[in-house]
Each structure stands twice: as structure tokens, then as C-alpha cells.
Chain A
Amino acid sequence: MRLIFRLQLVLILSGWLSDGLFSQQIRFKVYSREQGIMNPFVYSVSQDKNGYLYLATGEDVYRYDGFAFVPVRFQKEELKAYSTRIFNDDRGNLWFGMSNGLVFVWDGKNSRRINLPSGVTSQITEILADKTGIKWVVTQQNGIFGVTENGQVIRCDSVLPGRILTSALYTTNNNLLIAANDGIYLYTLSGNSRCLEQRGKIKNFPETRVNKLIQLQTSQTILAATDDNGLLQIEADPAGGNSFRVSDFGKSFGINQQSITSVFEDTEHNIWAAAAGEGVVEILWNQESGKYSGVRHFNTSNGLPVNFVRSFFQDREGQIWMATYGSGIVSFADEALQFYDFSDFTGKSITAVTLRGTELLLAGPKGILVLNKNTLVNRLFIPAGTKGLPADRITTMFTDRRGIVWVGTAESGCYQFDINAASFRRVWLSGNAVENVINHINGKGDSIFIATNGGLVIVDLNRNTFVLLTMSDGLPYNIIQSVFIDRNEKVWLACASKGIFNLSEHTYRSEGISALIEFSAIAQDTNGNYWAGTLGQGVLCFLPDTLFQVNTTTGLGSNYVYGVASDRDGEIWLGHRMSISRIDPVKKSVKVFDKAYGFTADCNPNALVSDPGGMMWIGTTEGLVGYNLNKEKRTNIAPVLNIVSLRIDDKEYDPTGRIVLPYGTHRVRIEFIGLNFRSPERVFYRYRLNGFDPEWTDAGGNRFVNYNNLRDGKYSFGLIACNDQGDCSETDSFFTIDVRLPLWKQWWFLLVMLASTALAVYGIMYYREQQLNEFNKRLETQLAERTREVIQKKEEIEQKNKEIIQSIEYAQRIQQSMLPSASQLSQYFTGYFLFYRPRDIVSGDFYWFDRLKENRFLLICADSTGHGVPGGFMSVMGTTLIKDICYRSDLESPSEMLALLDHEIHRRLNQNIEAERSNDGMDLILCDINLETYVVRIASAMRPVILYVNGEQMYIPGSRNSVGGTIISHEDKVFEDRVYAMSKGDLIYMFSDGYTDQFGGPLGKKFKIARLRNLLKDIHQKPMTEQYQHIKSTFDLWKGDQPQIDDVLFLGIQL
């Protein structure tokens, strides 16, 4: 929960400023129920080693981080008690003394209980440490207990029995002063029993309850806050021993018989005393004089929320925290920031401010007030509408070298104010209304510069003349917002333009500004750089060669600036609505005083005045605001960095050390804080997750960061936090996150995988080799076996082949024997040759001839279907049938013979038609030669015949039908007789297709009939024996290495 500061309260300086003219206010920050402190009775405040503030309240202990109060639990069970005392030990651990006698030690995260003896139920009133490190726990009614470093408890419960112990103090001389309800007792810590030894009661000390003892930092002086005797001072008697001198410390500061519940000395040696029911008294220490020099009172009449304060605490930033009884805790917003209300005189709003020597002039709707700037005592007040002061809004005031105050108004022009005469005189500038709207007045020497809505008026005091400059005279704009005179007495104008206008030289400082910017005011820092406030663009700093802009994104309170001034230390102050900004030109840091500091008014235009004495005076709509640089507490203490929460995958982790996560994608949320209690909202952060973020990321005021996809790798989280004064804390590595590499990225895994792969490869290779070897062995075995089988088969086949061949050879002999002897042809013809070459011993080709009656000579050349044994069978069957047919007398022509032969073959081969139809047959030439007349009748089935008649070759094609073969109708199967009258010496060539179809030659082609006819042309005239040699050699030559494809029969006769 973000805090909303409830700001209130007034503080009136006592004594000197009690004239009743005004009230000076210092704003407090009050943290109570509204901010989350559910029980606003606060007993003690402290700060742990991590920078968190702890509050002991009437119910819970709260931890405060500048934003929220979070209850702290010391144990799971309900305590039914509250903490009455917090002690910060030398290790930064906090000791919490409880109302029921319990003591807990808190290290920031965990607590442990100190086991005091049973029966200790009285509340803890004090915890302190001696120089040996022993912590002394003082109970109200159960005595005192020492706790050693190792947790051993020293019982001193017999200390002051029956008395109420309220406080204790360990002094530098090893004594323990114990405060009780009836005075102070002195104890020493040197006893043999390690317990306390009483040295006696401090004499001369009144019989009164002592609520708190402190020893001043710079002396041996002890202050005692008492119930009835105010603030008493105890000093060791110079005479030595246990004698002490007791005096009334508070009396000289107005603290008499008051009940003082607590006393505290801050780091600047101021004494803070809580007066029961009367608020707080601050006794001011003067550093220069080394004495206490004054007193401030804080109570409900001047704004403290309650008059009961239980204790004080000063945090590491130097802030004083008051633990109030019933109103939570209270701290100063900023003591240097003071609010003044002059509404009884000037009215609420202070519209113009100027200095005149030791006088401070304030203008408001009711008039002008002249004050002593140091005492703020009223010297003169001129009500509006009197003494020549118009009843108009005063917009600006300026004191010239003569002490005359120039007063600018919103509508009535300009006036001169003679304070000594307490009178006003109007300065006539123009009858034009816009030139009587005065925005700002400034001057140097005898020149007065009046910025109006109608241009710039320059008044020459010596000559008592004035001149009006407008845009026609070279001004950038007629509405001049303010006039600034720099150290070199150059005059600059702030108006709507592209830069600030140097009136002396009629030049601009624009540094590249291209757009029209509405400048409102100008100031100069100690380095001579100009700072120009704008209406909408923040403030622009004109460096020697560049431009530097400060706006809300870089921390400015607002982009609208109504006044700019440089303070004594060279820092730039800017007035906004609802805030003021202060820029450190060196650090470029911006401190904003806004509602968190009690600043809730609007700054009036050009109402910022810097007093060389260290004051900044700011006229606002709610009165005068002063900032006293002399009271400013600059600690230069950077925020304390803390990791509030580290959640990874929705699980909380301890954000210290090294966090190891398994491989995967992780979601990380980091919440952090830079503890700063002066202005926690204005702490700005930068972070970087090394290993993820390439560079620092500017987080602004955000206090968390999410990483949604953190993968494997090493990360460390760095954080920078800067307060509004530019003081930064930086930690490069708060914690590290190690997201483990996946298994497959682990070096050992890679090594194992490499080795495994190598092993696997080797194994596979080995296995394959083994398999191969076995396979080879098996193959060899099988091969040997097969080889043996093959050899055996081969032998069997060879044997069978041999037997078959023998059988076929025998069949050939039978076939040969069935064929007529070719030599018989010589008996009938002049010559002949027979080239007969079966492909497979027995031949499907066959011939037959015989002389029939009447000089007829039948010559048959046949080519049966198939070759080898089937062909042989066909030839045998053909020979037999042909013989039978040829010898039949009723057949006259060869064609008839062929027809009959065809019929017979069909009949013979298809007797068992159910088994399978036979298509076997034969091509055949039947040549019937009349030996007397040499008339030759030829009937051919599918085979051609080549004749040489009278030397001329005649090619006689065969019929288209084979003998036998495919069954077609006998009417369709026609064999023709061709008759040729040949002469003696003519030649007849008949051959089977085995000759012409033989593949060979250079191209592996068939021999073809054409090539044969050409061959015969070449050789027909040769003797038949030579022709035979040609026919034979030609065939062999043509065939070459080609296998013989068919049986070959070539028959040639010469009539």
C-alpha cells in the first residue's frame, strides 16, 4: 500500500517570533492508522542493518520501508503482548523487549527468543549493551538479566527488589545507572559473580520516577528525564568516588516541574525532550558557540498531532522520528522548508516578493507588507487602495539602487513605492492597456526594465525618460514574461520565441531550437550557464555548446515553470503549481518539494527571490514559503538497497547467494527497494540481470522487474538506486541465478555421448564384421556345398547330356539313315550340293528325293517347326508322310501333295485333341522335276525357291501357308504349283530359313534373302562343289561367334 502522507501541523518558534504577526510553519509527516499503523501507540522506533524502520506499537511491531507498514511476527503463536523497547545491537540485529517479559532478537528475517528465567513476566523497560558485548535486559519489576554473546543468561533478579525499574544507562566508566521510581542507583559491572554490584543510590537526586537516562555524546554529562522534576543533569563530582552533582538542566530552557517521559540527543547535539501532555521541547545546540542557544516547542497548538511522545529516534539519514502515544510516528518533512502565513496582512496569496536591504517586501491582495527579513517582524503595511497603492493585483516588485521599490500590477501599470515616505507614485508608461499589464520588473544601475504585455519598457533614472521596445524594434515577442540581467549585466528577455533573447546584443541563445517555446523566466548558475524556465517544456539549460533539458521524465516537479532563481550555492530553483523543484547543476539531480513535504500551493509567477544570506523566498497562493539553506540537512546518504522478494516460477526464494535452478524456462519476478525515508517516492532505480540484459535498464520509480523466459545460463542481478539528491547506491550482484544446462549441453554428457558413439560405432562395426565373417563362413560353407552340389549336378547333367547327346546322335544316325544319300543326286543331275547343318545334332530341317515313275523326280526341302529333338521328330514324321504321299499315284501335282501332307500332319498331330491342340507343322518346298523335259513343278509352303534359268535368277516365293501349323480352313489353305521349263544346266536352290535368318555379320543382323540372292548371283556359275564351299564359308563367316539360331538346310542342284 502506498503511503499518502497526511500533512498537517504548524510549528511556531517560541520566544522571539511570538509577536503574533504570522505563523511560521514546519510541515510534519504523520504516519498513523491511515498509513497502516493499526495501533497508533508507539513505544519505540529503530532501524535494522538493512535500513528498514521498525516500530513497536501497542499491538504489533511494524516494519516500514517508506511505503508500507508490515507487521512482523516473532512466533507463530499469538504473543498477547506488545513490544515496549527496541534495541539495536552491534551486529545490526534488533532486540525487542515485550510487555510480558519476553525478549526476541530479530535479524531482519528470523527471530530467536531469549530464554529469561520463568517467572519473568514484567515488561522490558530497557535493553543495553556493555563494552564486553553483554546485553542487559531491564525489567520493570523482575530485576535485570544479562545475556552473553552465546545466549547465556546472567540472573540479577535481586536488583532493586520492590522497585520499579524504568531505564538504565551504561556509562563510559563501566558503571550501570539504573533508573527507578524513586531515583537512580549506581551499579558496577566488575563483580565476581558477573552480576551487578550496587554502589549506592545517587545522592541529591530527588525521590522521583526517572523515565529515561542518556549520556551526552561529547561529555560525561548524564540527563535524566523525570516524572516531576523535569530534565535533570547528573555529572560526576570532580572529587571522585561515587559522588555526583545533580542540577536542573531543563530549567534554563523552560522545563521546570514537568514530567519528561523521554530524552534524546541527536547527531547535531540538539536535545529532544518529551514533556508528558505538553509536546516536545527541542533544546538547540549552537555548533559555533558550543552551547545550547535556544528552544523550540512542538505541541498540538502548533500542529504536533498529540502532546504525548514516548521516544525519539534518528535514522541513518538524520531524520528525527517521534514515537507518539496515540498518533503513530511523526517526522519532519524538511526542517529547512518553512511556511509562513501572513493572511492577516497581505492576504493568503503572496504574489510578489522582493528584498530591500534587511527588509523583505511581500505583496498580496490586501496590500504590501514590509518585514525585517531576519526576524520577520512587521515594519510597515500598506493596505491596497491606500497611500496611492491601487487595489489591483501586484504582479512584481523590484528595488532600485536608490531603495525605491518598483511595483508592477496586473492592470494598473507601474508604481514607485517610497518606503520611507510610505507612499506610492504611479509611473506613467502608456495609455495602452497592454503596456500597463506588468509581468516583471528588473534593473541595473540607472536602467529599469519593465516587462509588459505590450513590449519592454526601459526607464532611464538619470534622464527620467523611458522608451518602449516592441517587435518592431526587433524584440522576439511583445508579451515579455520576465527580464533577467546576468553577471555581465547583459539583459535577457524571456518570452515566446525560439530561444532566450539577448537584448544587449539582439541575439538569441537557441542552440538549435526550431519550434516556438514560451519562456517564462531565466536564471544563471555559478558556471555561467543559463537556465530558462518554460511553460510546457520544463527548464532548458544553455550550456556553452549544447542544450540540456530537464522535465518531468527526468524528475522535474512539472513542465510548467513560473519562476526561476539561483540560490546562494548555485542551485536552480523552479516554481511550479503544487511543487517547487531544485536542480543541482553539477549532479543534474532534481529534488522536488511537493505535497509530500507539505507543499500544496501554486507558485506565483516571478515570485522567487534568492537571499544571499541563504534564504529562498517563494510567493505562493497559500502564503510565503522560505527555504533556509543554513538549516538544510544534506546527508549525502544513498538509499539502502534491498531485495524485497524474489519469486521464481511463483515460488519465493531467498535472494542471497546463489540460486540453482533446473534446466527449463523460468519466470522470475524481482521486487527491490532503495530505502530512503526522506523522499521514498523519488528514489529512481536502474537494474541489470547480467547474462540477460545487455545493459542497465532505467526503471524509473518502479520497484520490480519480471523476466518471463530465463533459460539456461548464469545470471546475476545488479541494482542502482539514487535519491533525489543524486546520491546513489550500486550493487553489481545481489544474487546469482544458475539455470542448469540441459543434459545435452553438459560437458560430461557430451563426453559420454562421444565415447558412447565411438563405442557404438566400434561395436556396430565389430558386430557387422563378426556378422560378415560368419556370413562369409556360412557362404563359404554354402558355396562349398553348392559347388559340390553343382559339380554333382554338373556331372549328372554332363552325364545326362552325354547320354542325351549320345541319344540324339544316335537319333541323328537314325535320321540320317532315313534321309536319302545326297550322293544319289549325282545320278540324276549335273551337279548338286547339300549344306546341311542341324543346330542340335538332330535337325528339324530335312530333305527327301526320289525318282518316281515317268522320270519324275521329287525333291523336297523341308523346315519343320522347332529344331533339335522336336524338329527331328517332325522331320521323321514329315519324311514318313512325304514318302507315303509321294508314292501315291493319285496325286499328280506337288500342290496336291502338299495339301495332303498338310491334312495328314494335322490329322496325325491332333489325334488326342483333348490333351492339347498342336500347331506344329513345317515349311516345305516340293519340287517335281521331269528328268527328261526339265519341266519343273514347284509347290512351296512358306519357303521361297531360287532358280537360275538360262543364267537368270528367278526368285519364287512360297505360298503363305505352312504345312500343318495353325489350323485354318482347307479351302483357305491353298498351295499352288508353279511350273518352269528349265534346261539342262539350270540351277535350283532350296533352303530353310536357318540360313537367311542367321544373325551375324559386322552388325549382328540377319543374313536375309537379298544377301543370299546376291551370293548366288556371285557363285551360280561356279561348280557346285565350289558353290557348296562358298555357301558354307559364307554362313560360317557371317555367323562368326554368334550361335546358330536354327537348323540350316541349303540344297542346290544343277539340272
Chain B
Amino acid sequence: MMNGSSQMKRNILTGIVLFTALFHTWSQAVPGKDENIPYLVTFGANAETSWGDDDFSQTFFFVIPKDFTSPVYIRVYDPDCGGAIDELKGVFDTRTSFAVYGGVGCYTDEDVQTGQPQGNYKAGNILATRTFGVDPRYDQKWFTFGPFNPTEGEYVEQFKSYIIKIIAEGVSGDDGNLYRYFLSTSPDENKPIEGANAFTFEYCFRLWDDPKQISVIYPYIDDRTINVRESNFDWDDDGYILITSVLRKSQPLPVSNEDNWVESDFKIFDKEHNTSLAISMIKKSSPVVRNNNVVMHIRNQYNEALKFYSSPIGGIPKPIYGIGVR
């Protein structure tokens, strides 16, 4: 049982580390440039989970430093479901809604932080919403939500930032909508906000078809974490998942198969606190698995979901397996 004083110190320390780390980031592309993930993916509500999306919902949070007071925009690349990028299942009939939330509870609500589309996970004021079906106007083009006043987000003292949430949900259909986000200062181009970042509690994304491409995601380990449980879904046994940290190098994790979850636990060392882990996904060279969509989340010993930052807090852990092409 942790006493209150040490808990407070830890919270403060975590806050300082987070705040410092966040303000040294400079990327609001989702997926981030260090992740080498081609697209996020959300299937229509009528899709089968075996296609790689366990809940047809994906939530991302954008962190905007409180000192930034200019309008911000959330840009979505290829928000419609149709055309070359998206995953076709029969005919394109999927409608995907994108909803931007701010205000009280948009991050701090307990249901929001489970990473699961359950309960009051949509807490907060809706700042903008739009549902896309097949719309060539936005096929392989950027759609811009906003402008948003940063103060319309929920202010979180721990981050000393405002947080704006975006939820993508497959309203109907069974196709997979592949898309990307960018938090921008401009409605027409991707101009990052200094010190901003983005994170999610559950990552649902497309792996590269090219087996030489390695994608990496970065869960942040706070100082309360002593043990974690990594869960991956529908990996289709497509290669390896290696975990790297400041202390460990390419520790393999069990890989899920078709339409199932695989979990594995491992301990967290003190030196790994307040750093990011790197979870690398290395595809098999043969047979080549195409259109592989996977889901992943990590929980600590309290069953609390850990955050995957698009721009890893504390930077990429060393040593790390090479990112990108092998």
C-alpha cells in the first residue's frame, strides 16, 4: 500500500516528466513519424472482428499546450470509405463518423480511459462531428475539422495542456476505413503545433504489406507501473512482436492469431519508469500477409490502460531495433 506522500511525489514527478517530455515533442501526425504505421483502421459496425478491428471504434487524444491560444484544426486524411486506400468488403457501404470532443470529461472520465468503447466513453462536449461514406471529394484527400479554440478542450493539469478527443466509429457497413490524423495550425496544410502530442489507449492500425517494413508503437510507462499485460488482437501470426526498452533489447512477445486476443505479462524495472517502451512489429517474409489489421493495448497491474504516444515520451528507447525497412 503506497502512502499518500509518496503517491503525491510520484504524481508530481510523473506530471513534470510528462509535461517536460510533451513540450519537447513536435509532431501531431497520427500515426507518428517514429511509428511507421501506414494507416489507422476502423471497420464498419457490420464487419467481422476477424478482419482486424475488435470494436469498430478508435479514440485518439490530442494534447495542446495551454499556452497555445491560436485556432487548431484536426485534419483527417481519406476520411471517406471508398477508393484505393480503404479495405473493400463486397461493395463500399461503410459509413464512418468522426466526432471531436472537448470540455469536461472528454479525457478525465473513467470510462474514457479504459480505451474501450463502453460506458461514457464519449464524455465531453461535441465540438464537431461528421459522418463519411463513399465520398470521392475526400478520397485520398484531407478533410479538416475546426477551427477549434484550444480552451474548448479539457484542461488537464497533469499535462498542463488542453486535450481534445476524436472518436472514429464505424456506423454501418463492413468495409475498413483507413485514415490518418494530423493536428494542425492550418486548415489547409499540416503545420504541427509546437509542444503538442497525441495518444491513444488502444491502437487499431494497418500493418504494411511489405514484410520489410517494421512498425513500432510506444507505450509510456509511468512510475506507478510495476507489471504490464500486453494484449494483441488478430495478429494472424504474422511475424514477431518485440519489445525494447532502456533495459531490454528485442524481448519477444506472444503473437495472436486470427480473430483472437493474446496476452502476455512482464515486469517493469525501475529504470524503465517514465520512459517509453518500443513495441516493434516484424512481419514474416513468407507467406506475405496482406491487409493485416491489428489491435493492441497494454495495461498495468491495476488494469489501467497505458497510453501510446504518437511521439514517444522521452524519445525512442535505446537500444532499439531499426525502424522502417529492414
Q: Which residue of B lies closest to A307 (CB)?
A: B187
* Known A-B contacts A100-B103, A140-B125; A325 and B71 likewise in contact (beta carbons under 8 Å): yes
Task: Please state if A326 and B104 are interface contacts (CB–CB under 8 Å).
Answer: no
Q: Which residue of B lies closest to A162 (CB)?
A: B122
Q: Which residue of B lies closest to A33 (CB)?
A: B69
Task: Please state if A140 and B126 are interface contacts (CB–CB under 8 Å).
Answer: yes
Q: Indicate whether A81 reaches chain B with its CB closer than 8 angstroms.
A: yes
Q: Which residue of A lies closest to B125 (CB)?
A: A123
* Known A-B contacts A100-B104, A121-B104, A326-B70; A59 and B126 likewise in contact (beta carbons under 8 Å): no
How long is the Cα–Cα vector from A164 to B127 in the complex, in angstroms?
Answer: 10
Within 8 A of B (CB), among A12-69: 39-41, 58-59
* Known A-B contacts A80-B155, A82-B151, A308-B147; A123 and B103 likewise in contact (beta carbons under 8 Å): yes
Task: Please state if B105 and A121 are interface contacts (CB–CB under 8 Å).
Answer: yes
Task: Please state if B147 and A58 are interface contacts (CB–CB under 8 Å).
Answer: no
Q: Indicate whether B129 reaches chain A with its CB closer than 8 angstroms.
A: yes
Task: Please state if A58 and B152 are interface contacts (CB–CB under 8 Å).
Answer: yes
Task: Please state if B149 and A58 are interface contacts (CB–CB under 8 Å).
Answer: yes
Q: Indicate whether B248 reaches chain A with its CB closer than 8 angstroms.
A: no
How long is the Cα–Cα vector from A123 to B147 in the complex, in angstroms?
Answer: 18
Task: Please state if A99 and B71 are interface contacts (CB–CB under 8 Å).
Answer: no
Q: Which residue of A lies closest to B70 (CB)?
A: A326
Q: Indicate whether A347 reaches chain B with its CB closer than 8 angstroms.
A: no
Within 8 A of B (CB), among A214-244: 227
- Note all chain B residues with C-beta closer than 8 A to A101: 104
Range of interface residues on chain A?
A: 20 to 34
Q: Indicate whether A1020 reaches chain B with its CB closer than 8 angstroms.
A: no
- Note all chain A residues with C-beta closer than 8 A to B102: 99
Q: Indicate whether B130 reaches chain A with its CB closer than 8 angstroms.
A: yes
Q: Indicate whether A366 reaches chain B with its CB closer than 8 angstroms.
A: no
Task: Please state if A99 and B125 are interface contacts (CB–CB under 8 Å).
Answer: yes
Within 8 A of A (CB), among B59-108: 69-71, 102-105
Chain A 824-843, CB within 8 Å of chain B: the 1/0 string? 00000000000000000000
Task: Please state if A141 and B147 are interface contacts (CB–CB under 8 Å).
Answer: no
- Note all chain A residues with C-beta closer than 8 A to B126: 140-141, 164, 181
Other-chain residue from B69, B70, B144, B152 in contact with A99 (beta carbon distance below 8 A): B152
* Known A-B contacts A58-B152, A99-B152, A123-B103; A326 and B147 likewise in contact (beta carbons under 8 Å): yes
Chain A 277-308, CB within 8 Å of chain B: the 1/0 string? 10000000000000000000000000000001
Task: Please state if A227 and B130 are interface contacts (CB–CB under 8 Å).
Answer: yes
How long is the Cα–Cα vector from A325 to B151 in the complex, in angstroms?
Answer: 12
How long is the Cα–Cα vector from A210 to B144 in the complex, in angstroms?
Answer: 19
* Known A-B contacts A100-B104, A121-B105, A123-B103; A181 and B149 likewise in contact (beta carbons under 8 Å): no
How long is the Cα–Cα vector from A82 to B69 in the complex, in angstroms?
Answer: 14
Nearest-neighbour CB distance to chain A for B121, whole angstroms, equals 13
Other-chain residue from B129, B151, B152, B187 in contact with A277 (beta carbon distance below 8 A): B187
Within 8 A of B (CB), among A144-177: 164
How long is the Cα–Cα vector from A100 to B151 in the complex, in angstroms?
Answer: 12
A-B contact count (CB 8 A): 55
Q: Indicate whether A122 reaches chain B with its CB closer than 8 angstroms.
A: yes
- Note all chain A residues with C-beta closer than 8 A to B105: 121
Nearest-neighbour CB distance to chain B for A400, whole angstroms, equals 56
Task: Please state if B103 and A99 are interface contacts (CB–CB under 8 Å).
Answer: yes
How long is the Cα–Cα vector from A308 to B70 in the complex, in angstroms?
Answer: 13
Nearest-neighbour CB distance to chain B for A444, whole angstroms, equals 61
- Note all chain B residues with C-beta closer than 8 A to A906: none
- Note all chain B residues with C-beta closer than 8 A to A308: 71, 147
Q: Indicate whether A209 reaches chain B with its CB closer than 8 angstroms.
A: yes
Task: Please state if B147 and A81 are interface contacts (CB–CB under 8 Å).
Answer: no
Nearest-neighbour CB distance to chain B for A840, whole angstroms, equals 128
How long is the Cα–Cα vector from A387 to B147 in the complex, in angstroms?
Answer: 55
Q: Which residue of B lies closest to A310 (CB)?
A: B149
* Known A-B contacts A100-B103, A100-B104; A39 and B149 likewise in contact (beta carbons under 8 Å): yes
How long is the Cα–Cα vector from A181 to B129 in the complex, in angstroms?
Answer: 8
How long is the Cα–Cα vector from A308 to B146 in the complex, in angstroms?
Answer: 9
Within 8 A of A (CB), among B294-313: none
Nearest-neighbour CB distance to chain A for B195, whole angstroms, equals 19
- Note all chain B residues with C-beta closer than 8 A to A140: 125-126
> Binding site of A, secondary structure by majority: helix, strand, loop or mixed?
loop
* Known A-B contacts A140-B126, A308-B147; A39 and B152 likewise in contact (beta carbons under 8 Å): no
* Known A-B contacts A100-B104, A123-B103, A308-B71; A41 and B129 likewise in contact (beta carbons under 8 Å): no
Task: Please state if B125 and A122 are interface contacts (CB–CB under 8 Å).
Answer: yes
Other-chain residue from B71, B104, B144 in contact with A81 (beta carbon distance below 8 A): B104
Nearest-neighbour CB distance to chain A for B102, whole angstroms, equals 8
How long is the Cα–Cα vector from A40 to B126 in the complex, in angstroms?
Answer: 20
Task: Please state if B125 and A325 are interface contacts (CB–CB under 8 Å).
Answer: no
Within 8 A of B (CB), among A107-149: 121-123, 140-141
Task: Please state if B187 and A39 are interface contacts (CB–CB under 8 Å).
Answer: no
Task: Please state if A164 and B103 are interface contacts (CB–CB under 8 Å).
Answer: no
* Known A-B contacts A227-B130, A308-B71; A58 and B151 likewise in contact (beta carbons under 8 Å): yes
- Note all chain A residues with C-beta closer than 8 A to B144: 277
- Note all chain B residues with C-beta closer than 8 A to A181: 126, 129
Other-chain residue from B69, B129, B147, B155 in contact with A325 (beta carbon distance below 8 A): B147
How long is the Cα–Cα vector from A122 to B104 in the complex, in angstroms?
Answer: 8
Q: Which of A41, A80, A181, A325 has the most CB of B within 10 A?
A: A41
How long is the Cα–Cα vector from A227 to B98 in the complex, in angstroms?
Answer: 14
Nearest-neighbour CB distance to chain B for A184, whole angstroms, equals 17
Task: Please state if A164 and B155 are interface contacts (CB–CB under 8 Å).
Answer: no
Task: Please state if B149 and A326 are interface contacts (CB–CB under 8 Å).
Answer: yes
How long is the Cα–Cα vector from A854 to B187 in the complex, in angstroms?
Answer: 181
Nearest-neighbour CB distance to chain B for A274, whole angstroms, equals 13
How long is the Cα–Cα vector from A82 to B105 in the complex, in angstroms?
Answer: 15
Within 8 A of A (CB), among B104-148: 104-105, 125-126, 129-130, 144, 147
Q: Which of B69, B70, B129 has the most CB of A within 10 A?
A: B69
Q: Which of B70, B126, B150 has the most CB of A within 10 A?
A: B126
- Note all chain A residues with C-beta closer than 8 A to B187: 277
Q: Which of B129, B144, B149 has the most CB of A within 10 A?
A: B149
- Note all chain A residues with C-beta closer than 8 A to B104: 80-81, 99-101, 121
How long is the Cα–Cα vector from A227 to B103 in the complex, in angstroms?
Answer: 21
Q: Which residue of A lies closest to B151 (CB)?
A: A58
Task: Please state if B152 and A209 are interface contacts (CB–CB under 8 Å).
Answer: no
Nearest-neighbour CB distance to chain A for B183, whole angstroms, equals 16
- Note all chain B residues with C-beta closer than 8 A to A39: 69, 149, 151
Task: Please state if A326 and B71 are interface contacts (CB–CB under 8 Å).
Answer: yes
How long is the Cα–Cα vector from A41 to B162 in the complex, in angstroms?
Answer: 15
Task: Please state if A41 and B125 are interface contacts (CB–CB under 8 Å).
Answer: no
Task: Please state if A41 and B103 are interface contacts (CB–CB under 8 Å).
Answer: no
Task: Please state if B69 and A164 are interface contacts (CB–CB under 8 Å).
Answer: no
How long is the Cα–Cα vector from A480 to B170 in the complex, in angstroms?
Answer: 83
Nearest-neighbour CB distance to chain A for B277, whole angstroms, equals 34
Q: Which residue of A lies closest to B154 (CB)?
A: A80
Q: Which residue of A lies closest to B69 (CB)?
A: A39
Task: Please state if B151 and A41 are interface contacts (CB–CB under 8 Å).
Answer: yes
Nearest-neighbour CB distance to chain B for A743, whole angstroms, equals 59
Nearest-neighbour CB distance to chain A for B139, whole angstroms, equals 17
Q: Which of A58, A99, A227, A325 has the most CB of B within 10 A?
A: A99
- Note all chain A residues with C-beta closer than 8 A to B71: 41, 308, 325-326
Nearest-neighbour CB distance to chain A for B11, whole angstroms, equals 19
- Note all chain B residues with C-beta closer than 8 A to A121: 103-105
* Known A-B contacts A99-B125, A100-B104, A140-B126; A41 and B155 likewise in contact (beta carbons under 8 Å): no
Chain A 801-836, CB within 8 Å of chain B: the 1/0 string? 000000000000000000000000000000000000
Give 14 A-B contacts (CB < 8 Å), ordered by A residue: A39-B149, A39-B151, A41-B152, A58-B150, A58-B152, A81-B103, A81-B104, A121-B105, A123-B103, A164-B126, A277-B187, A308-B147, A325-B71, A325-B147
List 6 A-B pairs, minimum CB-CB distance, nearest first.
A41-B149, A58-B149, A58-B151, A123-B125, A326-B71, A100-B104
A interface list, Cβ under 8 A from B: 39-41, 58-59, 80-82, 99-101, 121-123, 140-141, 164, 181, 209, 227, 277, 308, 325-326
Query: Told that A123-B125, A227-B130, A325-B147 touch, could you supply 7 new A-B pairs with CB distance under 8 A?
Result: A39-B149, A41-B152, A58-B152, A81-B104, A122-B125, A277-B144, A277-B187
